[in-house]
Structure 1
Amino acid sequence: MNRLSLNQWTTRRWSLPQAVDGCARHGIPAIGVWRQQLQECGLARAVKLIADSGLRVSSLCRGGFLTGGEALDDNRRAIDEAAALGAPCLVMVVGGLPGVSPGEPLSPGVSRDLPGARQRVVDAVAELAPYAAERGVRLALEPLHPMYCADRSVLSTLGQALDIAERFPVEQVGVVVDAFHVWWDPQLFSQIARAGARIASYQVCDQLHPLPADVLLGRAMMGDGVIDFRPMTAAVAAAGYTGDIEVEIFNADVWAADPDEVLTTMIERYRRLVI
């Protein structure tokens, strides 16, 4: 339990104050904060609230969407927020093909230049990494499952994320190992070993089968899907990662459930299946 973190999206219907209170009541020592709820709460209030609760912030979600070329200022604001919260990393969902928006029809001017989109990510990270380092925040590049390549992340494997991260000092740019997004990769364990000190965050949830019509909501509570967590947790530990383990679930049924019941189940499954 001393490494368990509740990513706020798992209990999406809770405000940040409610999520902080829920963690305190259930003995969860850390929280992964989402910017939407942070803005609703207000940064100064959130900083005091979390400090008074004794919780630590495991990450701030999210920065990124770098491929459109217009996100640098918002990412600098996100870095400033992470620094104020004491979050060790800002999770970066880097963005899909320029002109492709999640859930929207393709526009006539959409770009299909995938290598060019990935180069935009490199260029943007080069701009942001020194700014983040000055504020004690590490950018954490998160590869997403290939089904999200067009609209959310042109980084689909841990290896691709590391290819970019390794261009920068380890304290400036790391990677996220998210079980949902990377469990399928035949090179996963060699890439986790390669990542080593680059691992900035380890996130867990299961993958539903079959996937729902909205694949964004295909995450599940650990044990309700197809992922074997123990080998992945062991590999992350062997790579040297000793940080928090966040549970991050996008699932309509989980969101509709009583959040306190969700946390009770989350703790039991974490103990039994993840560690």
Structure 2
Amino acid sequence: MTGLAAEVESDVPGGAPARVSTPQPGDARLGRLSLNQRTTARWSLREALDGARAAGLPAVGLWREPVAEVGLGRAARWVRESGLRVSSLCRGGFFTASDGAGRAAAVAANRAAIDEAAELGARTLVLVPGGLPPGDRDLAAARARVAEAVATLVPYARERGVVLGIEPMNPVYAADRGVVSTLAQALELAAPHAPDEVGVVVDTFHLWWEPGVHALLESSGERIVSYQVCDWVTPLPADTLLARGMMGDGHVDFASFTTAVARSGYSGDVEVEIFNADVWAAPGDRVLATMARRYVELVEPYL
């Protein structure tokens, strides 16, 4: 294989030979695949929508910052014109401020995020819980503040038809991003609310390591409101936020993990969300081709 064909069929970031052919638009195996905008971070909203359509993907996961760059009204119009589903909007959350003014500001910001999700047609707003405030070491109190904020937001989100999706994060981020570290903790936070009000975001990067996670996934039922996939790669980069790899490049057992998600009854979209400097540096269409191949090989057969 030479020239353009070789480039299209090689994987990113390492350029390894393709294991399966790139699925073409209309391939039924792509029916639940969603491009999370962070996977092609250099693309604008317009480029992400156009790129997803060109690759035959039916859905995108949007981020608030690129939406804000073009304006909510224009972004919503572009989404409607694209015909793509919005699998989720990222992100709300960051509820752990210890002072009353900080907590009130977080609630107000999340109400705005709920409004944006409703306008964009995103049923799920992803909530990143937030880390410990400066100088604070009380994880239990921080988690309690997350629970309080979620309860405050539920009526507002319910009125607008938006489900709040709590995303448990790998413990490496507990101090600065996510005091909710396990699926078990996220399910406990969601439990006081109806499944169509508060659910959990299941991300392989964050949860692949959790003891007993497969049994928890299988029993989660309607609580799973988003399934996100990418790999855990080592050695970890200096910025651990960029430790996400393309499926198949790291340590995650996608077959068993996805099987457990499927057994829960989850039938929604599957987002590929990758934070990785090498992936970001690659041409977006090449990233999507690699993503589609890895998905149909490693994830889709087990849904």
| TM-score greater than 0.5 by the shorter chain | yes
Match of 1:102 in 2: none
Match of 1:86 in 2: 121
Counting only pairs closer than 5 Å after superposition, residues 144-223 of structure 1 correspond to structure 2 as 144-223=169-248
Q: Using the alignment, how far apart are the partners of 2:133 and 2:159 within structure 1?
A: 29
- SS at structure 2 position matched to 1:92: strand
| TM-score, length of structure 1 as denominator length | 0.95
In structure 1, stretches of 5+ residues that fail to align are 100-109
2:254 counterpart (229, 232, 235) = 229
Rg (Cα) greater in structure: 2
Match of 1:29 in 2: 58
Q: Using the alignment, how far apart are the partners of 1:251 and 1:21 within structure 2?
A: 22
- SS at structure 2 position matched to 1:112: coil
Kindly provide the amino acid, as one letter, of the partner of residue 96 in structure 1. Answer: G
- SS at structure 1 position matched to 2:193: coil
Counting only pairs closer than 5 Å after superposition, residues 25-64 of structure 1 correspond to structure 2 as 25-64=54-93
Match of 1:65 in 2: 94
Higher relative contact order (CA 8 A, sep 6+): 2
What is the aligned-residue identity percentage?
A: 59
Kindly provide the amino acid, as one letter, of the partner of residue 67 in structure 1. Answer: T
1:20 counterpart (49, 53, 58) = 49
Q: CA offset at residue 230 of structure 1?
A: 1.1
Q: Using the alignment, how far apart are the partners of 1:73 and 1:231 within structure 2?
A: 39
Kindly provide the amino acid, as one letter, of the partner of residue 254 in structure 1. Answer: V
- SS at structure 1 position matched to 2:220: helix
- SS at structure 1 position matched to 2:179: coil
Match of 1:134 in 2: 159
2:280 counterpart (232, 255, 259) = 255
Match of 2:40 in 1: 11
**More displaced 10-residue stretch of structure 1: 68-77 or 81-90:** 68-77
Match of 1:76 in 2: 111
8 Å CA contact 2:218–2:262 kept in 1: the answer is no
Q: Using the alignment, how far apart are the partners of 2:211 and 2:229 within structure 1?
A: 18
Kindly provide the amino acid, as one letter, of the partner of residue 140 in structure 1. Answer: G
Q: CA offset at residue 54 of structure 1?
A: 0.7
Q: CA offset at residue 57 of structure 1?
A: 0.2
Indicate yes or no: 2:132 matched with 1:97. Answer: yes
Kindly provide the amino acid, as one letter, of the partner of residue 2 in structure 1. Answer: G
Cα deviation digits, residues 206-264 of structure 1 (max 9, x gap): 01111111111000001111111011111111100000000000000000110110000
RMSD of Structure 2 on Structure 1 (CA): 0.7
Q: CA offset at residue 195 of structure 1?
A: 1.4
8 Å CA contact 2:117–2:125 kept in 1: the answer is yes
Report how many aligned residue pairs link the two structures: 265
Q: CA offset at residue 77 of structure 1?
A: 0.3
| TM-score, length of structure 2 as denominator length | 0.87
Q: CA offset at residue 186 of structure 1?
A: 1.2
Kindly provide the amino acid, as one letter, of the partner of residue 87 in structure 1. Answer: A
